[in-house]
Amino acid sequence: MTAHPPLNSLQPRPIAERTRPKLVVVGNGMAGVRTLEELLKLAPDKYDITVFGAEPHPNYNRILLSPVLAGEMTLKEIILNDVDWYENHDIKLNTSSRITRIDRVLRQVFSADGRVEKYDRLLLATGSTPFILPIPGHDLPGVLSYRDIADTDAMIEAASRYHHAVVIGGGLLGLEAANGLRQRGMTVTVVHVMPWLMERQLDRPAAELLKKSLEDRGLQFKLGCETSELMRGEDGRVCALRFKDGSTLATELVVMSVGIRPNTALAESAGLFCHRGIVVNDTLQTFDPRIYAVGECVSHRGIAYGLVAPLFEQAKVAANHLAEYGIACYKGSVTSTKLKVTGIDLFSAGQFMGADDSEDIVLSDPAAGVYKKLVLKDDQLVGAVLYGDTADSAWYMQLLKDAQKVTELRPHLLFGQHHLGDSGHKGETQASSLPDHAEICGCNGVCKGTIIKTIKERGLFTLEEVRQHTKASSSCGSCTGLVEQLLASTVGGAYQPADGLHKALCPCTDHTHEEVRKAIREEHLLTIPQIMTFLVWKTPNGCATCRPALNYYLISSWPHEARDDPQSRFINERAHANIQKDGSFSVVPRLWGGLATPAELRAIADAAEKYAVPTLKITGGQRIDLLGVKKKDLPRMWADLAKSGLVSGHAYGKSLRTVKTCVGSEHCRFGTQRSMALGVRLEKMLFGMWTPHKVKLAVSGCPRNCAESGIKDVGIIGVDSGYEIYVAGNGGIKTVVAQFLCKVASDDEVLEVVGAFLQLYREQARYLDRTVHWVERAGLDFVKQQVVEDLEQRQTLYERLLFALQGTEDPWTEIAANPSHLQEFEVMSL
């Protein structure tokens, strides 16, 4: 028996159902159904919902038609919402039912198969139709377009009976169609009117590489050729193309893929304002306030999008307004393109062609099949074309969307984010070249084949979804670029990296880290419940992501005022020790600057024996780790260690970890500065400092840099005339060399500059940002301005840090001496 039986999910439906307003959706494709999914998340019972779809299928993943055509997937695998989904959500689905008329006065829609449905709100998601060249013969048998399952089936069927195919149109879809037909054994010629392929996404050099690679796969091309007529054979089918120059090309199948047009016929017939799409405002509302429209049929701020990612953004906004939340706003999308041809990595985004007022940075290595072009304008990335190595496409997309200044990144911008020592996947940067069994995520042992299979089978579109379902990239994150690459090459244009600048803190809120901090400061909020009430949290008491962040923001914003909430801390910070895989803990006493006395070493040895510690280990931070301590023994062990003056090393916290030092001029014949003494002073000053993430320091006594200052959050290198201070280095997952901040003459100045830098980090970084991530976003120039140039600001920051650290006590001594704190460590028995 259980004291709390599972909640009964089969509760009787509320009576209010009969009076619920009616929402009718015209179009059962990805945009319409995604809007419903978003709506159901916000207001599951608000509407009585009816969906009309012209196709006989439930909602499927149109993006994956190319793999179906290529024989890599089956139709069944690309269904996103099966019939049960509609039933489970009480949605009436009418398939093979095309809506032909809207009566806006009576608020009714009429279908070709004689159905009539009333609506209170109408959502148009009629998609787009393929553009058919108005040339003689365009309606002959054997001439197809490429848009839906029926087209795909027709092509598969034709491929089994005929040998020669022509695809008119060398754009994204045309090439995917050509590749698919080739995979099915046909000889395929792509006829394109422009001088190079995918001219709307690629510049010429990248397109040439693409053409070469497709030729290697057996495709043929006729570029710069305009078709004037499709010729009829004796059997009545199409038999050849005739070009403007009079030449002909024999064929048995023609696939026209020369673009799409928003499908506005229904909207126009109802008198809705259309101009190259159904015109909507920033809430996705049409000129009739009861009617919303999303997807490829829409024209928003003059743009009709033909890729899936923007449609999903629109769906979210439309759902927000249909749910009568009324706060979301769609401002348009920056789109990117990926070609879904297995084995070819290609990416383009933004203004990739460049203009008079922009600059190009280009890397071209045709022999290796790599081409990269970045377009910069006013110190911002405005466009990118990548061929062959697209590992950094997500990073570039992020820079583009965030309109981030790239001044400091410029010297290595072209080489991407990954080139600096990410570990765990053998330095691979090209997912496409890897075999299916290649391990992508070294932390969780997830291979390429598993990731791709899961993306396809589960219909995943975001990195977060892939992390949830495969665990890849969910631990250390160093393989994120590769996972994003796999995601992008599998779902193509549907993939859009998250918006880094305006990222919500966690799913419990729509507010960003910055907005939360601002509210805490301006409203003088002092407790987590106060924040959650003021900012209208969506969950009763948050989640494991937001609670620790909020706790940190409170205690760092209002030191000595806001009270620490132990239940909102990860166990390590609550137990002041590091949890291990078997549930035991590790204890690391602080050895200031890595120095120890015989008495301290003896105390550590005694404690290890007394509490039967199975493993003693010298750490990378010049300390001693006692591993395998039982939680209930912790307070007594701490009390024993305290007798010799040993205190918490905070090896478990988002806090000051170690200050690593070299021997320095105290003993070393090369030393120029007393690095041990300065290290100890810094460590004593910063003892007990909570930070957004862990903080490691190092002090070297000369430029030989034996303390490895170059890969620390703050690294100090003594020179004869003073100290050089480096910041934002990292030695973990991502090896990043620290950047030079400034040079100072005295120990006191080191303390002040380092203190000011760390206080700025404490006040401005997002929780779980290392200094490297924060400085990357904030910019080193800004940090220098605050900490080096503006002396008054430096002083203020330094004083704020000292104030926050006033009266810091050793948590070990405090807990061991205070019986009321011992409950956490006590075990009860049955």
Partner 1 sequence: MAQWKRICTLDEIPRLGARVVERGAPPNIALFRTADDQVFALLDQCPHKQGPLSQGLVTDTHVTCPLHGWRISLVDGQAQGADAGCAATVPVQLEDGWISLESSHESH
Q: Site for partner 1 (CB under 8 A): how many residues?
A: 34
Residues from 545 through 574 that contact partner 1 (CB under 8 A): 547-548, 566-568, 570-572
* Smallest gap from residue 459 Cβ to partner 1 (A): 13
* Smallest gap from residue 469 Cβ to partner 1 (A): 5
Residues from 379 through 408 that contact partner 1 (CB under 8 A): none
Q: Bridge partners of 86?
A: none
Dihedral over alpha carbons 376, 381, 385, 388 (to 10 degrees): 110
Q: Which two tokens stand for residue 59?
A: 């909602």
**Cβ proximity to partner 1, 761 vs 825, nearer residue:** 825
> Which of 356, 581, 598, 720: binder of partner 1 (CB under 8 A)?
581
Q: Bridge partners of 726?
A: 715, 740
Residues from 804 through 823 that contact partner 1 (CB under 8 A): 823
The CB-based long-range contact list for 569-573 (8 Å cut-off, 24+ gap) reads 570/544, 572/652, 572/653, 573/652, 573/653, 573/654, 573/655
Task: Answer yes or no: are the C-beta atoms of 108 and 117 closer than 8 Å.
Answer: yes
User: How would you label 504-539 residue by residue, b for 16+ Cβ within 10 Å and e otherwise?
Assistant: bbbebbebbbeebbebbeeeebbebebbbeebebee
CB-count burial class (<10 Å; 0-12, 13-18, 19+) for 823: exposed
* Smallest gap from residue 542 Cβ to partner 1 (A): 6
Q: What are the backbone angles phi and psi of residue 254, rounded to the nearest 5°?
A: -120, 125
- Relative to beta strand 116-118, strand 121-124 is unpaired
**Cβ proximity to partner 1, 558 vs 570, nearer residue:** 570
Q: Bridge partners of 336?
A: 349
* Smallest gap from residue 815 Cβ to partner 1 (A): 15
**Cβ proximity to partner 1, 364 vs 545, nearer residue:** 545
**Cβ proximity to partner 1, 233 vs 529, nearer residue:** 529
What is d(CA 412, CA 376) in angstroms, rounded to the nearest whole number?
Answer: 14
* Smallest gap from residue 829 Cβ to partner 1 (A): 5
**Cβ proximity to partner 1, 475 vs 796, nearer residue:** 475
Dihedral over alpha carbons 178, 180, 182, 186 (to 10 degrees): -90
**Cβ proximity to partner 1, 529 vs 779, nearer residue:** 529
What is d(CA 675, CA 747) in angstroms, rounded to the nearest whole number?
Answer: 10
* Smallest gap from residue 6 Cβ to partner 1 (A): 5
Task: Answer yes or no: are the C-beta atoms of 790 and 753 closer than 8 Å.
Answer: no
**Cβ proximity to partner 1, 579 vs 802, nearer residue:** 579
**Cβ proximity to partner 1, 406 vs 627, nearer residue:** 627
Q: Which two tokens stand for residue 504?
A: 């919500």
Of 542-550, 591-599, 752-760, 801-809, which part binds partner 1 (CB under 8 A)?
542-550
Task: Answer yes or no: are the C-beta atoms of 201 and 352 closer than 8 Å.
Answer: yes
**Cβ proximity to partner 1, 579 vs 742, nearer residue:** 579
* Smallest gap from residue 634 Cβ to partner 1 (A): 12
Of 354-362, 496-504, 538-546, 791-799, which part binds partner 1 (CB under 8 A)?
538-546
> Which of 73, 231, 361, 579: binder of partner 1 (CB under 8 A)?
579
Task: Answer yes or no: are the C-beta atoms of 441 and 473 closer than 8 Å.
Answer: yes
Of 144-152, 445-453, 515-523, 533-541, which part binds partner 1 (CB under 8 A)?
533-541
**Cβ proximity to partner 1, 583 vs 598, nearer residue:** 583
Of 421-429, 431-439, 535-543, 609-617, which part binds partner 1 (CB under 8 A)?
535-543
Residues from 623 through 662 that contact partner 1 (CB under 8 A): 631
* Smallest gap from residue 135 Cβ to partner 1 (A): 50
What is d(CA 813, CA 806) in angstroms, rounded to the nearest whole number?
Answer: 17
Q: At what angle do helices 393-402 and 480-491 cross, to 10 degrees?
A: 90
Regarding 539 and contact with partner 1 (CB under 8 A), the answer is yes
* Smallest gap from residue 541 Cβ to partner 1 (A): 5
Q: How far is CA 14 from the centre of its chain?
A: 39
> Which of 540, 598, 807, 819: binder of partner 1 (CB under 8 A)?
540
* Smallest gap from residue 453 Cβ to partner 1 (A): 14
Taking CA 808 as the corner, what is the angle to CA 806 and CA 811, rounded to the nearest 5 degrees? 170
> Which of 544, 598, 819, 820: binder of partner 1 (CB under 8 A)?
544
Site string for partner 1, 412-451 (x = CB under 8 A): ----------------------------------------
* Smallest gap from residue 359 Cβ to partner 1 (A): 44
Q: Is 408 helix (H, G, I), strand (E, B) or coil?
A: coil
Q: Is 486 helix (H, G, I), strand (E, B) or coil?
A: helix
> Which of 88, 269, 433, 541: binder of partner 1 (CB under 8 A)?
541
Q: Bridge partners of 361?
A: 374
* Smallest gap from residue 551 Cβ to partner 1 (A): 11
Of 536-544, 714-722, 747-755, 757-765, which part binds partner 1 (CB under 8 A)?
536-544
Site string for partner 1, 470-489 (x = CB under 8 A): -----x--------------
* Smallest gap from residue 567 Cβ to partner 1 (A): 4
* Smallest gap from residue 468 Cβ to partner 1 (A): 4
What is d(CA 70, CA 111) in angstroms, rounded to the nearest whole number?
Answer: 34
Residues 6+ apart with CB under 8 A from 178: 165, 167, 188, 190, 214, 219, 255
* Smallest gap from residue 652 Cβ to partner 1 (A): 11
> Which of 247, 468, 615, 721: binder of partner 1 (CB under 8 A)?
468
DSSP letters for 425-483: STT---GGGS-TT-EEETTTTEEHHHHHHHHHHHT--SHHHHHHHH-TTSSS-TTHHHH
* Smallest gap from residue 546 Cβ to partner 1 (A): 9
**Cβ proximity to partner 1, 210 vs 549, nearer residue:** 549
The CB-based long-range contact list for 802-809 (8 Å cut-off, 24+ gap) reads 802/685, 802/755, 803/559, 803/560, 804/556, 804/559, 804/560, 804/689, 804/759, 804/762, 805/685, 805/686, 805/687, 805/688, 805/689, 806/560, 807/560, 808/687, 808/688, 808/689, 809/688
Please choose, from the candidates 737, 803, 797, the residue with its C-alpha nearest in 3D space to the C-alpha of residue 764: 797
Q: Bridge partners of 117?
A: 109
**Cβ proximity to partner 1, 283 vs 545, nearer residue:** 545
Residues that bind partner 1 (CB under 8 A): 1-4, 6-7, 468-469, 475, 539-544, 547-548, 566-568, 570-572, 575, 579, 581, 583, 631, 823, 826-830
